[in-house]
Structure formats: structure tokens, C-alpha cells
Copies of this chain bind each other. A is one copy, B any other.
Amino acid sequence: MTSSSASATEIPVIDPSTIVPRLAELIVGFGANVQPGQTVAVGAEFGKEKLVREITGAAYRRGAKFVDVTYIDPWIKRQRVLHADPETLDQYPSWYGEKMLALGEQRCARIALTGSTEPHLLDDLDSTLVGREQSAPRKESMQVVNDRLTNWSAVPCPTPSWAQLVFPELPVEEALAKLWQQLAWICRLDSDDPIAAWGERMAQLERASNALGEHRFDALHFTGPGTDLTVGLLPSSHFVFAAFSTADGIPHMPNVPSEEVFTSPDPLRVDGVVRATKPLFTNGSLIEDLEVEFSGGKVVRIDASKNADALRALVARDEGAARLGEVALVDGQGRVGATDTIYFDTLLDENAASHIALGAAYSFTVDDDDKAKVNTSQIHVDFMIGSDDVTVAGLSRDGAEVPVLVGGSWRI
């Protein structure tokens, strides 16, 4: 599943003892940009205590009023899928959504750590049930994100099991050390000033986003092995990147790392076939060799060599789950792609390649006139469709096809 080709970039060694505290400072001081007096919600799976505690200390040192840590135990989800009434699997307590809305109303900061602690834990279960199980308040989360009420950031945190999934050929300790080294480099912790390094990368993404904005394409056209997909755009679809700001003007970077420019497509105008260029790990299932066909914006076929049912169950969740909420372009200059590694973690993998997402859109990427047109859903599932072999072209409103991304390089 993992390749380490000779062409992969040589990564400088970073002092391991500095990585966790420096990553905590980056996520608190820059990613989420925690402000004095703020309450900070931190969410992480088991096995990430070391980074969670460093983040907590860093947040209090910056003047946080309270750090509210939520640990997620994947074994609890396993018990639920095994033993709960299947009819109840998509229900969760009222206070999950209410807390999320309160985080927005009270203008809190939010930090999430990604990466699966137990990636194979649900492999032996009924993937339809796994896909149906839900305990995250996705609707309220999307609302708080779209209304830009919280300064937030998500960052990956390695664990031994996750490292073994990524580097199965290595002993677990070596795998874990290698994953930490790669993550530290991807997060620019090799720089004396990681914040300045991220500023330079953001300037590149800003240039691409401005160029896409000037073209005002009617659609994007992806072509490559097994892929011929046209994704219609809305009149006001803006390509944005990860230099965000809350409604109150607090700048933050919602994903660390982030190498993408993205927008909300027209959920009624997506047609053709697309082949995923990386395995998709979602909701506890690893979906391999995924192929999806769209007609009139809607998914009409899902095939995969493994766990297709898990995605089929997600797509059946609601009306919008079978339509697109995001299209994102990633160039070949980012560090995720340079490691030539599959991470089985969306936050990393989506920054290695262009991708689309089924489900809810980020409505802040369109103007008020188009906000009612973007897709809504309880799900948001990204999957990778880009590679050096996939060409992206823009379709102008006059019918011309303009090369946008070829072999990983911008052509606009």
C-alpha cells in the first residue's frame, strides 16, 4: 500500500524531542491562533495524550480561559456497531450538537487531532453498519464552520498503530519515528520559523487562487487513467485556500498542513467517471480501488475492490450525500506529495493530490446569491482524484478548454 520510490525527497532529520512541543506551539499559536480569554475545545483519539497535554499547556500559557479536552476511544464505536440496535446507529445525544453551537456562540477556539489510532479495529464488522454509525454533530459543525464563528485547526498526530499502517515494512518504533519525522517536515518544523515558512507557501496558493478567480471557469474537467469527469462550478464559486479568518477577524489556518485551493461546485452539474488515485479511509473503513460515476450531479455507481458498501451506506445517508460539496486542486509543490507516502489520513492525503468531496459544501466559498445552491448533507467525505497523470482543465463560459494543472504544475 505504501511506496517509497527513489524519487522521494530526502527529508532532514529533526530533533525528536522538539517535535511535540513545537507542533503544539504551531497549532495553538498559528493554526488555531488561540486568543487570551478563549475557551478551547480539543478533540483527539486515544493514544495522542502527549500532544494533547502539550497543546493544553500551550493554550493556557497564551491565556485560554478553559481547555475542554474530549478523548475518543475507537473501541466504544466498535461496541456500538456490535451490540446496539442498528436502527439507532445514526442517533446521538442532543448535547453533542448543542455544545458545537455553544462553541460558535461563545466564539471559542477548536483544535482537532487527526490520524486513526486503531485503523483495523472495525475491519471485521458489517461495513454497512459501520457506515451508518454516527456520533459527530456534522450538521452543527458545518454551520459553525460556514458562519466562521470559531478559530480552528486540525493537525495529524501519529500513533503506533497508524504508523504501522503507513510503514508496514518497519518495526513499530521505527515506523512511529519515521511518521513523526515526515509530519514534522510537512509541517515545516525544520524551519527556524515555521510560521514564516507557512506564510511563503500561503503566498503561492494565493497566486493560484487569484488566477483561478480571474478565469471564472464554468467547470473543471479532469482526465486521466479511468477518469473523465466534468465538475460544474457556480457563477460565484471562489477558489479559497487555508488562510482563513473568523467573522470577528481572527486569522487562523484550519488545516495544518494545507496545500490546496478549493471551492464549492454546482451539485447539479457533475458528470462522468472518476477513479480514486489513493485508498479512502473513512468512518473506520478502508475503501480501495474506488470508482464513482456521476450523472446530473448525482452518484449513480460506486465500485471498489474493498468496502464499497461502507461508502454506499454513507452516500445513502441523505439527499445531498450523493452529490459533491467540494472540489480542490493541489499542485506538485507541497511537501505531502513530496514524501511519496500514502498516509490513510484525509488531512494529509488530500494535500498530496487534487480531490472532490461528497456531501456538505463550505458555503463561505460562494456569494450570497449562490449560497442556497451549494450542496447540504450530514456527511463530508473527501477522496483523492489527482496525480501527475491526471490533467485538470478549465472550461470557459465560451466553451474553450484551458489547461490548469498538468503533471502537477500550474498552467495558469
The chain A residues found within 8 Å of chain B, CB to CB, are 39, 46, 49, 52-53, 56-57, 60-61, 63-71, 73, 75-76, 79-80, 82-85, 88, 91-95, 98-99, 102, 106, 135
Taking the nearest CB of chain B, how far is it from the CB of A390, in angstroms? 42
A-B CB proximity, top 5 nearest? A60-B83, A95-B99, A71-B71, A56-B79, A57-B79
Q: Measured between alpha carbons, how far is A70 from B95 in the docked complex, in Å?
A: 13
Taking the nearest CB of chain B, how far is it from the CB of A43, in angstroms? 12
Cβ of A84 and Cβ of B64 under 8 Å apart?
yes
Chain B residue nearest in CB terms to A60: B83
Q: Name A91's contact: one of B66, B92, B94 (CB within 8 Å).
A: B66
Cβ of B83 and Cβ of A61 under 8 Å apart?
yes
Cβ of A67 and Cβ of B91 under 8 Å apart?
no
Known pairs A60-B83, A83-B57, A83-B61; A93 contacts B68 (CB<8 A): yes
Q: Name A67's contact: one of B68, B69, B79 (CB within 8 Å).
A: B79
* Listed residue (A67, A71, A82, A93) with the most chain B CB atoms within 10 angstroms of its CB: A93
Could you say which residues of chain B place their CB within 8 Å of the CB of A88?
A: 65-66
Could you say which residues of chain B place their CB within 8 Å of the CB of A98?
A: 95, 98, 102
Cβ of A69 and Cβ of B61 under 8 Å apart?
no
Could you say which residues of chain B place their CB within 8 Å of the CB of A80?
A: 56, 60, 66-67
Q: Beyond the given A93-B102, A93-B106, please list 15 additional residue pairs across the A-B interface where CB-CB is below 8 A.
A: A46-B49, A46-B71, A53-B73, A53-B79, A56-B80, A57-B79, A57-B83, A60-B83, A63-B85, A66-B80, A66-B91, A67-B76, A67-B79, A71-B71, A95-B99
